[in-house]
Amino acid sequence: MLNADFFRRWMTVTAASVDREAERLTELDSPIGDADHGSNLQRGFTAVTAALEKDAPDTPGAVLALAGRQLISTVGGASGPLYGTLLRRTGKALGDAPEVTGEQLTDALRTGVDAVMALGGAAPGDKTMIDALVPAVDALAESFAAAKSAAEEGAVATTPLQARKGRASYLGERSIGHQDPGATSSALLIAALVEAAGE
Protein backbone atom coordinates (compact mmCIF):
# COMPACT_ATOMS: atom_id res chain seq x y z
CA MET A 1 0.00 0.00 0.00
CA LEU A 2 1.12 3.55 -0.76
CA ASN A 3 0.61 6.14 1.98
CA ALA A 4 1.02 9.93 2.21
CA ASP A 5 4.73 9.50 3.02
CA PHE A 6 5.27 7.69 -0.26
CA PHE A 7 3.57 10.50 -2.19
CA ARG A 8 5.57 13.15 -0.33
CA ARG A 9 8.75 11.24 -1.24
CA TRP A 10 7.59 11.10 -4.86
CA MET A 11 7.34 14.90 -4.90
CA THR A 12 10.62 15.58 -3.07
CA VAL A 13 12.54 13.10 -5.24
CA THR A 14 11.04 14.78 -8.33
CA ALA A 15 12.10 18.19 -6.99
CA ALA A 16 15.67 16.96 -6.45
CA SER A 17 15.78 15.41 -9.90
CA VAL A 18 14.42 18.59 -11.52
CA ASP A 19 17.13 20.56 -9.67
CA ARG A 20 19.79 18.19 -10.98
CA GLU A 21 18.48 18.23 -14.56
CA ALA A 22 17.27 21.85 -14.77
CA GLU A 23 20.08 22.95 -17.05
CA ARG A 24 19.47 20.07 -19.44
CA LEU A 25 15.70 20.73 -19.52
CA THR A 26 16.33 24.38 -20.33
CA GLU A 27 18.85 23.40 -23.02
CA LEU A 28 16.26 21.12 -24.64
CA ASP A 29 13.81 24.04 -24.52
CA SER A 30 16.27 26.32 -26.39
CA PRO A 31 16.07 25.12 -30.01
CA ILE A 32 12.31 24.43 -29.95
CA GLY A 33 11.09 26.73 -27.18
CA ASP A 34 12.02 29.72 -25.05
CA ALA A 35 14.72 28.17 -22.85
CA ASP A 36 12.83 28.22 -19.58
CA HIS A 37 11.54 24.69 -18.95
CA GLY A 38 14.17 23.83 -16.35
CA SER A 39 13.77 27.08 -14.43
CA ASN A 40 9.96 26.87 -14.68
CA LEU A 41 9.91 23.43 -13.07
CA GLN A 42 12.60 24.30 -10.55
CA ARG A 43 10.49 27.22 -9.32
CA GLY A 44 7.40 25.02 -9.26
CA PHE A 45 8.84 22.03 -7.43
CA THR A 46 10.69 24.23 -4.94
CA ALA A 47 7.26 25.66 -4.05
CA VAL A 48 5.83 22.12 -3.89
CA THR A 49 8.41 20.88 -1.37
CA ALA A 50 8.04 24.04 0.75
CA ALA A 51 4.25 23.70 0.82
CA LEU A 52 4.43 19.99 1.70
CA GLU A 53 6.74 20.76 4.61
CA LYS A 54 4.54 23.55 5.86
CA ASP A 55 1.13 21.88 5.54
CA ALA A 56 2.04 18.16 5.91
CA PRO A 57 -1.09 16.81 4.17
CA ASP A 58 -1.84 13.33 5.50
CA THR A 59 -3.47 11.51 2.59
CA PRO A 60 -2.11 10.65 -0.88
CA GLY A 61 -4.91 12.66 -2.51
CA ALA A 62 -4.19 15.75 -0.40
CA VAL A 63 -0.43 15.57 -1.12
CA LEU A 64 -1.00 15.56 -4.88
CA ALA A 65 -3.74 18.19 -4.76
CA LEU A 66 -1.48 20.56 -2.82
CA ALA A 67 1.44 19.88 -5.17
CA GLY A 68 -0.76 20.52 -8.20
CA ARG A 69 -2.04 23.82 -6.81
CA GLN A 70 1.53 24.99 -6.19
CA LEU A 71 2.57 24.20 -9.76
CA ILE A 72 -0.41 26.06 -11.17
CA SER A 73 0.21 29.15 -9.05
CA THR A 74 4.01 29.35 -9.38
CA VAL A 75 4.88 28.19 -12.92
CA GLY A 76 4.23 30.79 -15.57
CA GLY A 77 4.76 28.55 -18.60
CA ALA A 78 2.43 26.08 -20.28
CA SER A 79 3.88 23.25 -18.23
CA GLY A 80 2.60 24.70 -14.92
CA PRO A 81 -1.13 24.35 -15.55
CA LEU A 82 -0.54 21.05 -17.37
CA TYR A 83 1.54 19.38 -14.61
CA GLY A 84 -0.66 21.08 -12.01
CA THR A 85 -3.74 19.55 -13.60
CA LEU A 86 -2.04 16.17 -13.80
CA LEU A 87 -1.31 16.11 -10.07
CA ARG A 88 -4.55 17.73 -8.91
CA ARG A 89 -6.75 15.43 -10.96
CA THR A 90 -4.73 12.37 -9.98
CA GLY A 91 -5.05 13.45 -6.34
CA LYS A 92 -8.77 14.03 -6.67
CA ALA A 93 -9.21 10.57 -8.18
CA LEU A 94 -7.44 9.05 -5.15
CA GLY A 95 -10.06 10.60 -2.85
CA ASP A 96 -9.35 10.77 0.88
CA ALA A 97 -8.09 7.24 1.47
CA PRO A 98 -5.09 7.12 3.86
CA GLU A 99 -3.42 4.47 1.68
CA VAL A 100 -3.90 3.38 -1.93
CA THR A 101 -2.87 0.37 -4.00
CA GLY A 102 -0.61 0.51 -7.05
CA GLU A 103 -3.67 -0.31 -9.12
CA GLN A 104 -5.56 2.67 -7.68
CA LEU A 105 -2.58 4.90 -8.44
CA THR A 106 -2.50 3.61 -12.03
CA ASP A 107 -6.21 4.33 -12.51
CA ALA A 108 -5.92 7.77 -10.89
CA LEU A 109 -2.90 8.71 -13.02
CA ARG A 110 -4.81 7.70 -16.12
CA THR A 111 -7.57 10.10 -15.08
CA GLY A 112 -4.91 12.78 -14.55
CA VAL A 113 -3.28 12.20 -17.94
CA ASP A 114 -6.71 12.30 -19.61
CA ALA A 115 -7.31 15.67 -17.94
CA VAL A 116 -3.98 16.97 -19.31
CA MET A 117 -5.02 15.86 -22.82
CA ALA A 118 -8.41 17.55 -22.41
CA LEU A 119 -6.81 20.79 -21.17
CA GLY A 120 -3.96 21.01 -23.69
CA GLY A 121 -5.60 19.24 -26.61
CA ALA A 122 -2.51 17.10 -27.26
CA ALA A 123 -2.71 13.46 -28.31
CA PRO A 124 0.11 10.89 -28.40
CA GLY A 125 2.49 11.72 -31.27
CA ASP A 126 2.13 15.51 -30.93
CA LYS A 127 5.63 15.78 -29.36
CA THR A 128 4.60 16.77 -25.83
CA MET A 129 4.72 15.43 -22.28
CA ILE A 130 1.82 13.17 -23.31
CA ASP A 131 4.28 11.04 -25.32
CA ALA A 132 6.02 10.04 -22.08
CA LEU A 133 2.99 10.00 -19.78
CA VAL A 134 0.65 7.76 -21.80
CA PRO A 135 3.14 4.87 -22.24
CA ALA A 136 4.15 5.26 -18.59
CA VAL A 137 0.59 4.84 -17.36
CA ASP A 138 0.11 1.87 -19.70
CA ALA A 139 3.22 0.21 -18.23
CA LEU A 140 2.42 1.11 -14.63
CA ALA A 141 0.12 -1.91 -14.30
CA GLU A 142 3.32 -3.99 -14.57
CA SER A 143 5.69 -2.08 -12.25
CA PHE A 144 7.20 1.32 -11.42
CA ALA A 145 10.39 0.20 -13.20
CA ALA A 146 8.46 -0.66 -16.37
CA ALA A 147 6.74 2.73 -16.24
CA LYS A 148 10.11 4.45 -15.86
CA SER A 149 11.52 2.71 -18.95
CA ALA A 150 8.36 3.39 -20.95
CA ALA A 151 8.47 7.10 -20.08
CA GLU A 152 12.16 7.37 -20.98
CA GLU A 153 11.58 5.59 -24.29
CA GLY A 154 8.56 7.83 -24.95
CA ALA A 155 10.65 10.94 -24.35
CA VAL A 156 13.45 9.77 -26.68
CA ALA A 157 10.87 8.86 -29.31
CA THR A 158 9.72 12.51 -29.51
CA THR A 159 12.96 13.47 -31.32
CA PRO A 160 11.90 12.61 -34.90
CA LEU A 161 8.37 13.98 -34.40
CA GLN A 162 7.05 17.32 -35.61
CA ALA A 163 5.44 19.29 -32.77
CA ARG A 164 1.72 19.87 -33.12
CA LYS A 165 1.05 21.52 -29.72
CA GLY A 166 2.73 24.14 -27.61
CA ARG A 167 5.43 26.63 -28.48
CA ALA A 168 7.49 24.10 -30.50
CA SER A 169 4.61 23.73 -32.97
CA TYR A 170 5.27 27.29 -34.21
CA LEU A 171 8.48 25.93 -35.73
CA GLY A 172 6.67 23.45 -37.96
CA GLU A 173 9.14 21.05 -39.60
CA ARG A 174 12.06 22.73 -37.83
CA SER A 175 10.87 21.14 -34.57
CA ILE A 176 11.94 17.75 -35.98
CA GLY A 177 15.21 16.36 -34.61
CA HIS A 178 14.95 17.70 -31.05
CA GLN A 179 13.78 15.85 -27.96
CA ASP A 180 10.77 17.45 -26.29
CA PRO A 181 11.62 19.10 -22.96
CA GLY A 182 8.23 18.35 -21.39
CA ALA A 183 8.38 14.67 -22.33
CA THR A 184 11.86 14.63 -20.79
CA SER A 185 10.67 16.13 -17.49
CA SER A 186 7.71 13.73 -17.46
CA ALA A 187 10.22 10.88 -17.59
CA LEU A 188 11.91 12.39 -14.51
CA LEU A 189 8.55 12.56 -12.71
CA ILE A 190 7.84 8.89 -13.45
CA ALA A 191 11.41 7.78 -12.65
CA ALA A 192 10.97 9.39 -9.22
CA LEU A 193 8.26 6.81 -8.45
CA VAL A 194 10.87 4.05 -8.47
CA GLU A 195 13.12 5.94 -6.09
CA ALA A 196 10.21 6.92 -3.79
CA ALA A 197 9.30 3.24 -3.56
CA GLY A 198 12.88 2.41 -2.62
CA GLU A 199 13.17 0.04 -5.59
Helix, coil or strand: residue 127: coil
Burial code (b: 16+ CB inside 10 Å, e: under 16) for 168-186 equals bbeeeeebeebbbbbbbbb
Element (H, E) at 176: none
Query: What is the C-alpha to C-alpha distance for residues 40 and 25, in angstroms, rounded to an integer?
Result: 10
Interaction mask 46-85, Mg ion, x per CB under 5 A: -------------------------------x--------
For the bound state, the minimum distance from the C-beta of residue 129 to ligand ADP, rounded and expressed in Å, comes to 4
* Choice between 105 and 130, CB closer to ligand ADP: 130
User: 61 touches which of ligand ADP, Mg ion, none (CB within 5 to 8 A by kind)?
Assistant: none
Name the residue nearer to ligand ADP (CB basis): 59 or 70: 70
Across the chain, how many H-helices and E-strands are there? 8, 2
Q: How far is the CB of 179 from Mg ion (least distance, A)?
A: 14
The contacts of residue 53 (CB under 8 Å, 6+ apart) are: none
Phi, psi of 100 (to 5 degrees): -130, 160
Compare residues 60 and 120 and give the one whose CB is closer to ligand ADP: 120
Least distance to ligand ADP, CB of residue 130, Å: 5
Least Å distance, CB 4 to Mg ion, is 32
Q: Which of 29, 126, 152, 180 binds Mg ion (CB under 5 A)?
A: 29
Q: Can you tell me the distance from the alpha carbon of 160 to that of 47, in angstroms, rounded to the nearest whole number?
A: 34
Contact residues toward Mg ion (CB under 5 A) are: 29, 33-34, 36-37, 77
